[in-house]
Every structure is written in structure tokens, then in C-alpha cells.
Amino acid sequence: METLDEIIAQLTKALGSDDDIFKAFYRALKDNVSFPADGFVIGVPVSVIKIDYDGNVKRGLTAVCRREDGSLYTIALTEVVFPKTLAGIEYVAAYRKWLGLESFTGNDNIPIKNRQYHKAADGDLDLSRPVELVVLSVKERTARCRLPESGRIITLRAGDLWDVVPGEIVTLQPHKQWKYGGHPYLSGEIQSTRLDVKSLELMPLGLSDIGTWDPMEYFQEEIDEPPEEWEKSVIDRGACPMFEMEQIIPGENVNEPFDDPILKAVELKESGHRADARASLMELCQADLRCLDAHAHLGGLVFDHRPAQAIRHYETGLRIGELSLDDKFSGVMPWSCMGNRPFLRCMHGYGLCLWRLDRFKEAELIFKRMLLLNPVDNQGVRFLIDKVNAGTDWNDFDDV
């Protein structure tokens, strides 16, 4: 895929005036983006019917938008935020960059409770055959879901929803679709669920290069003692690049450090309000499935009594985080970097659940991988590997 700079260079090459460049971007957008397309204007869902250019270089490209009530209006294209998964979105981003504007922020700065979404329309689903839905959040009897292709939202009413996990894809035999209070609903029977994070079309979390980690600097005080097996594997690998993973916390107010939705959910849990904590964490998943900490803490809510469900929360967060790591990734992600902690929490919880479910070999592999990612081992998995390798029953080891 071409970079934004390459797209800009291709479209502006040998063009002398801004008018010609606007026309070039107009043609490129018409050729590469299908309209109508869903978008947002100051957080309000709209349908972008078409783009236009009338020769006014001060205004540039414009977008004709339709509100939910059917009314039309025209606005500068730069005022529209499109979903990051929109086919051809790179041409919109290149246009913004050429104008000197920042990348899209979407709904990131809008409080969770005030966010609006594009709603599923009557023609979006074929009720005569099974449909697939991406689960965003779950209540007792309903689940807020996203249609995979359009990204539009619908509320599902079905049995056995309590065990469904945000981020999973459900295959449903639909029964009925209707609207209540202006919101679309769908009833049906769940036939299967699966975890397939690549089908979620999520933007991978960013990785920031923060320098190099040298194992000899960390282990030099213990160099006279024979290294343990896990230490030897870390030392033999040599110096590695260090990375910090992007941390997504929807609704977080960066100017108010104590206004943290995750900390609030933890406080609710610790004060005995577990249902409220669960609801709060589900809201974070609904806002952005890449909130790995929400998956980790949802797993923690059921870890003690329902490990078979907890492992699904942890694995979802783990697999979403892994979208940022290719098969050749050989760096470290130290716990000391706050952005890495949600990913490492998901991995730790996943490994513990594997152990509890007697999946010893898988648990051992996860713990060894954690030591390569975070050799300082702030989570203490080095003390667990021998127990897991020996097949020690979870109930016989209570030091976790």
C-alpha cells in the first residue's frame, strides 16, 4: 500500500495550481471511495452522499451529508470523520495531510455515554439465512453488536448471552428485526461463537520504539551464578529493541489523571459493586474493542469461579494486542512502560487460566513467551514454569 506522502506526490506531480490539485484529489476520491458512506460530523452520525468541488479553493472539497432525519446539507470534507476501515480512507487521509491537518480522531474524545453510532437499517440483514455479528458489549439479555461489513450497530436479544465475550463473532439464526425508540433490534438463536480478531478489521495498536534492552546490564549482578534456563534464553538472545504499546482507554480525560474509567471499574469491584464494574468495562469494549485493560479486568471478574469464561476474555485481549506483533517480532515490552501492562495482564491471565484448565503445555509456552517479552518478570511467572512443567494441579499451588 502506498504511503500518504506517495499518494500526495502522485496526485500533485507537475500540477502548478491549487485548483488543479483539488481537482486531482476529487477524481482520486471518486475513483477509490464508494459513496454513500457512513461518517461523523462533530460526533453525529451522517451518511455522506457524495463529494464535490465547485472551484472554490478557499473551501476545497465538500461533502453532501444526510442526517438521520433525512435532511441534507453541505459541509467541507475536512469536517467529516470516516471510519478507519473505510475502503479508500488513505486518500481522505492524504487530502487532509496535504492541507496540513492532523489525522482523524473519530469519536475518541467524546464521552462514552454521549457517543452516537450508525444504526443498522432494514436492508442490512438477510433474515432468511444465518448472519454473523461482532459482539461489542453484553448485558444479561441483550448484546450490542456490530455488522461486520457496514460497521453499523444493532442490539441482539438471544438466549445464552451471558457467556458471550466482547470481541467474539456470533453466528445467529435470525428470527425478527424491529425498532424500538429509534434503535434497531434483532432476535434469534445463537448457533456458534468464535474468536477471529483478524476479521474484526481493527486498527492495530501502535508500537513506539523506546530504545534497546541489554540483558547483560540487567543480569550483570548475577553473572557469577549459573543462570536459570529462562535467563539463559534471554541472555543468549542478546540486546533487543524495546517497545511500548499504544494504550486505548475510551473516554479518558488526560487532563484529569484520577478520572480513569479502568480505575473506577476496579474501585467498583473492590467495593462490592461487581455488576456495575462489569457494565462499566463493557461500555469501554463497546467504545473500542482495543481497550485491552477492559478485557483483562472482565476476565478478572470471573477468574475465581469461572475460568472457562475468564480465559475467553483474556484471550480476546491477547489476540487483539498480537495484531501489532508480526511473526518475526523479537523485541521486549517491559512492564515499566504503562502502555504494555494491559497486554501483559491479558497474557498473564490467559496463562493462569490455561493452567487451571489443565492445559499445561500451552500454559508453559505462554509463560516462557512472557519472560522473553518482559525479562524483568514483574508478574513472577518464572516461579510458575517449573510447577506447570511438572503438571502440578492448580488446587495444589496457592501462591499465585
Mean of pLDDT values over 294-311? 96
Q: What is the pLDDT of residue 255?
A: 60
| Claim to verify: residue 189 and residue 212 sit in the same structural domain | no
Q: What is the pLDDT of residue 396?
A: 80
For residue range 375-388, list pLDDT tens digits in order: 999 999 999 998 99
Mean of pLDDT values over 178-204? 92
Q: What percent of the chain has a predicted confidence (pLDDT) above 90?
A: 60
Q: Count structural domains, the chain.
A: 3
| Claim to verify: residue 250 and residue 358 sit in the same structural domain | yes
| Claim to verify: residue 211 and residue 162 sit in the same structural domain | no
Q: Return the CATH number at 214.
A: 1.25.40.10
pLDDT at 223 over 70: no
Of residues 246 and 151, more confidence is placed in: 246
pLDDT at 106 over 60: no
Of 50, 68, 98, which marks where a domain is finished?
98
pLDDT at 227 over 80: no
Of 168, 200, 232, which marks where a domain is finished?
200
| Claim to verify: residue 357 and residue 268 sit in the same structural domain | yes
Parent domain of 223: 207-396
Q: Return the CATH number at 163.
A: 2.40.50.140
- pTM (predicted TM-score): 0.82
Nearest residue to 313 (alpha-carbon basis) of 280, 289, 334: 289
Could you tell me if residue 85 is inside a domain?
A: yes
Could you tell me if residue 113 is inside a domain?
A: no
pLDDT at 224 over 70: no
For residue range 8-56, list pLDDT tens digits in order: 998 888 777 889 999 999 999 999 998 898 888 888 889 999 999 999 9
| Claim to verify: residue 264 and residue 369 sit in the same structural domain | yes
Could you tell me if residue 389 is inside a domain?
A: yes
Predicted confidence band of residue 104 (pLDDT cuts 50, 70, 90): low
| Claim to verify: residue 213 and residue 344 sit in the same structural domain | yes
Q: What is the pLDDT of residue 124?
A: 86
Q: What is the pLDDT of residue 25?
A: 93
Of 98, 131, 149, which marks where a domain is finished?
98
Q: What is the pLDDT of residue 222?
A: 54
Could you tell me if residue 132 is inside a domain?
A: yes
